[in-house]
Structure 1
Amino acid sequence: MRIRKDLRRALGAGHPVRVRRGIKGADRIDGYVVGIGCKWVLLHEISSEIRLDGYAAVRLRDVVSASDSGWAGSGFVHRALKTAGEPPRPLPEADLDSTTGLAETLGKGFPLLGLHVEEVDPDVMYVGHARGVVRKKRLLLQEISSKAHWEPACIRHRLDDTTRIDAGGGYLDALHRVGGAPPAC
């Protein structure tokens, strides 16, 4: 309950937070809280170059802390982004109440998604074009390699294993620019 309160306070105040999760090997995320649902929280991520860099949706149940108090540079980062004219932007169409809804709405809004299954393997991010959710809560993902080559077939990923979904941002946008539109699968 405290975490949800901290996230709501950050959303209302419009200040960046550092989010830590209780998944072994999961990275911390610096960003602005731009949405909170029943199951997911959406962050507009801040890159190490102090730029807003895409979105990260993480499961609420995994969040163990979300505050600016343990992040000495948060005030500077906030002022730097403000003077650069980079306000955090919410995604009102993102369904943060269910994993299926989140995957579907982000998949419609962005050409590529980054799918994390950190409890299974914290070092893997599956990247691809979401082709929709099929029966038994599986996301049909046409994957693109780190060299921007499209896989010819779509892969089904269990949404129950999903701990984080990324959308937008420099890396995913660059893959999409180089790889182009996905071929039919």
Structure 2
Amino acid sequence: MADIIEFPGERAGSLEQRLLVAQEAQLHVVVGRTIPESDDILGHVVAVGDGWVAMVRLSDRLSPDGWTFVPLDDVHQVSVDADPDCFPNRALRARGHWPPTVPDRPELGSVRSAIETAARSSPLVTLFRELENPDSCVIGTLVDLDDDRVGMRLITPEAVWETDTTSYDLDDITRVECGGGYEEALHLAVELLPSAPGPSGHTVPT
């Protein structure tokens, strides 16, 4: 991957500037984060807010696998491929997955607005609390949200809705995802249950 070395502007070379340039030019990026043992995120930047960044995440088969939202403060490395015709971009174009899809009305000033954007964009939202539980996440539909906590109706790995609402502190959330293949599979499977609610009207990365 050819890293962009210089950028115009007052904040030339900053991580945020790299993200903005990558977004504008639709360049392939690898984003590393400060959270210990966290995975790098490969894909394309589609929105940069005051507090969070949204990316279309690529699978290891170079297909879109939903949106990932992470705090800008957690980003410590941004590697940008300066070639707009690099292999991942050409593969996406050849498969009809271009340009990268932007989530529904992205607002990324805070973890709350990132969750709201995810909930507008996909019926299921995935929350990560990597500092507390680095190897797990929770998936469900948004029930309530304020400046301190988020309430979710969770879905089990067997694609069954849990009965009660589970709440989480927003301060503990380090990553938000939605629209990926696993979330789609859970949603399709749970919709086959007689008692399943049916959120609809969402877009997914294509």
Q: Do structure 1's residue 65 and structure 2's residue 77 form an aligned pair?
A: yes
Counterpart residue number, 2:176: 165
Query: Cα offset for 1:84?
Result: 1.5
Q: Do structure 1's residue 95 and structure 2's residue 107 form an aligned pair?
A: yes
Counterpart residue number, 2:47: 35
8 Å contact kept, 1:129–1:182:
no
- The CA distance in 1 between the partners of 2:180 and 2:150, in whole Å, is 21
Structure ranking higher in helix proportion: 1
Q: Give the count of matched residue pairs.
A: 179
Query: Cα offset for 1:89?
Result: 1.1
- The CA distance in 1 between the partners of 2:187 and 2:62, in whole Å, is 23
TM (norm. structure 1) is 0.90
Counterpart residue number, 2:68: 56
SS of equivalent to 1:67: strand
- The CA distance in 2 between the partners of 1:115 and 1:163, in whole Å, is 8
Counterpart residue number, 2:92: 81
Alignment of 1:105-184 (within 5 A): 105-134=117-146, 137-180=148-191, 181-182=196-197
8 Å contact kept, 1:137–1:158:
yes
Cα RMSD, aligned residues only: 1.8
SS of equivalent to 1:31: strand
Query: Cα offset for 1:92?
Result: 4.9
1:59-91, CA deviations, whole angstroms, 9 ceiling, x for partnerless residues? 11001111235xxxx921111111222110112
1:79-122, CA deviations, whole angstroms, 9 ceiling, x for partnerless residues? 11112221101125121012112212322331101100111121
- The CA distance in 2 between the partners of 1:83 and 1:9, in whole Å, is 24
Any unmatched runs of 5+ in structure 2?
1-10, 199-206
Q: Which consecutive aligned stretches of 4+ in structure 1 deviate over 6 angstroms post-superposition?
A: none
| Counterpart residue identity of residue 128, structure 2 | H
Query: Cα offset for 1:49?
Result: 1.2
- Structure 1 residues 92 and 172, CA gap change in structure 2 (3 angstroms): closer
Any unmatched runs of 5+ in structure 1?
none
- The CA distance in 2 between the partners of 1:117 and 1:78, in whole Å, is 31
Identity of aligned residues (%): 33
8 Å contact kept, 2:44–2:57:
yes
- The CA distance in 2 between the partners of 1:3 and 1:122, in whole Å, is 24
Query: Cα offset for 1:140?
Result: 0.6
Which structure has the larger Rg over C-alpha atoms? 2
- The CA distance in 2 between the partners of 1:130 and 1:43, in whole Å, is 21
- The CA distance in 2 between the partners of 1:142 and 1:155, in whole Å, is 6
Counterpart residue number, 2:20: 8
